[in-house]
Structure 1
Amino acid sequence: MALNFKVFETKDIAARYAADVVRKQFNSDSTSVVGIHLDAENTSFFDELLDDVKKNPVNFSQIHVLDFDGKEDYYTELGVPKKQVLKTDVGSDVESFIKDKVNTDKKKNKLMLDVITLTEDSRTGLDYNQAIHPAREVIVLVTGKEKAKAVSQLYEEPANGSVESAKLKQHRMVTVLLDNEAAQGLPEDVRSYFSIQFS
């Protein structure tokens, strides 16, 4: 499937948009399981999400977070019950992990959303088959000029090639959120097409 790109003027606006997507997922499905692995991304995403949740309260009583980055204190401050912040290894088979650890009233127990990033060498840091493919939707937040080459590789390389991130093209629903600096890795016409204003 094709990747959907959104290009924002600054990394803070891109982070705000990503945080808004996550908060809306929490609000729209009170039994959401969301995986977050942004360790290699230096943005205000976590501050933006906390601010968004303060403005738009969320019922976290059944929401579970797969914590790939060891940010338990942050998620409990956000309002997620400690027992529902699940420290998850980057090599985990998330479907088995969720089946074993998550028990919501609706018993959906599905990974609804993964929020990830790319490293400068175009890696996601998660095993595609074990931790990304099972997600219903994937948000990829990538900012900074040092990641423009990674964006170029994501865009240009075939899904079955040697570039790890290109496997994302196999997923049914991936949105890549970029600031202007990271978007320099896209061809100019593509970058222009996907540039939007978020307010």
Structure 2
Amino acid sequence: MYKIFNTVEEVSAYTSQCILKTIQEKPNAVLGLATGSTMKPVYAHLVQKLQNNPVDVSQLTTFNLDEYLGLSGEHAQSYNYFMCEHLFNRLGSPIGRYNLPNGLAEDIEAACQAYSDIIKQVGGLDLQLLGIGSNGHIGFNEPYTSFSSRTHLIELTEQTRLDNSRFFTDKSQMPTHAITLGIQDILEAKEILLVATGSNKAEIMAELYASDVNEALPASVLKQHSKVTIVLDKEAAALLPANSV
């Protein structure tokens, strides 16, 4: 299902309301969270809503999609830092448990397996928030990642590194690898919200709309999920046919 709004603010308000509704209906919900510039206004709206409608977040459990390999949680471009800056440190009370992949783990394979296992142990994700890369990746699951994948280490494509290097003052510091939740982990979420905004996402959203399900376009796997909502602003939706709304 596609929901198309005029502005980024409207997209962010709607998405944050969906997250808030999940928390209100299930105080011990397990949330899958995402990072990136698309998510900044989403979290800003969510923080405001949680301040205006005080909700107990002490029972929540969260799992982030991914983390760069080799970056500590204190690094300004790590996703741990991003989440603390834009969500965790801005809440009136701490979230019960929040989890992110460990980019400095000594045994990456074991850490990846443990990450997927913990999600299973807590009953799976109630809601997974996703962005989408310009090459169709979800999390950091690059094109041709197996749809059966679990949390794993992945080499970032040149396109992804180019897209994300804008966040690094010294572009040579842009990591070459990341740890990402696997596609199978994502698919097992009970509900999925994919959010895309801006004209730079128009081409990939049109490609996703027209695509069949294939590993060349990782996000196409979402067409197999029973409860997915794709939330776009009018710029990201500019190349979609009118009947997609």
Deviation at 1:62, TM superposition (A): 1.0
Question: Which amino acid is 1:75 matched to?
Answer: F
Q: How much is the aligned-residue C-alpha RMSD, in angstroms?
A: 2.4
Task: Please tell me whether Structure 1 or Structure 2 has the larger radius of gyration of its CA atoms.
Answer: 2
Which blocks of at least 5 consecutive residues in structure 2 are unaligned? 66-78, 104-108, 142-181
Question: Which amino acid is 2:133 matched to?
Answer: T
Q: Residues 53 and 136 of structure 1: is their aligned pair in 2 closer, same or farther, counting only changes over 3 Å?
A: same
1:17 is aligned to 14
1:183 to 228, 233, 237: 237
Name the structure, 1 or 2, with higher relative contact order (CA <8 Å, separation 6+).
Answer: 1
2:84 to 43, 68, 72: 72
1:111 to 104, 114, 125: 125
Partners in 2 of 1:126 and 1:160 — Cα distance?
A: 16
Deviation at 1:41, TM superposition (A): 2.1
2:161 is aligned to none
2:30 to 29, 33, 40: 33
Partners in 2 of 1:140 and 1:38 — Cα distance?
A: 12
2:228 is aligned to 174
1:121 lines up with 2:174 in the alignment: no
Q: Is the 8 A contact 1:33 1:110 kept in 2?
A: yes
Percent identical pairs in the alignment equals 25
Q: Residues 47 and 38 of structure 1: is their aligned pair in 2 closer, same or farther, counting only changes over 3 Å?
A: same
Deviation at 1:126, TM superposition (A): 4.5
For normalisation by structure 1, the TM-score amounts to 0.81
Which blocks of at least 5 consecutive residues in structure 1 are unaligned? 103-108, 195-199
Greater than 4 Å deviation, 4+ residue runs: 89-95
Q: Residues 181 and 172 of structure 1: is their aligned pair in 2 closer, same or farther, counting only changes over 3 Å?
A: same
**Number of aligned positions between the proteins:** 181
For normalisation by structure 2, the TM-score amounts to 0.67
Q: Residues 156 and 89 of structure 1: is their aligned pair in 2 closer, same or farther, counting only changes over 3 Å?
A: farther
Deviation at 1:25, TM superposition (A): 0.6
> What aligned pairs does 1:49-198 form with structure 2 within 5 A after superposition?
49-68=46-65, 69-70=79-80, 71-73=83-85, 74-79=87-92, 81=94, 84-88=97-101, 92=112, 95-99=116-120, 102=122, 109-127=123-141, 129-187=183-241, 189-191=242-244, 194=245
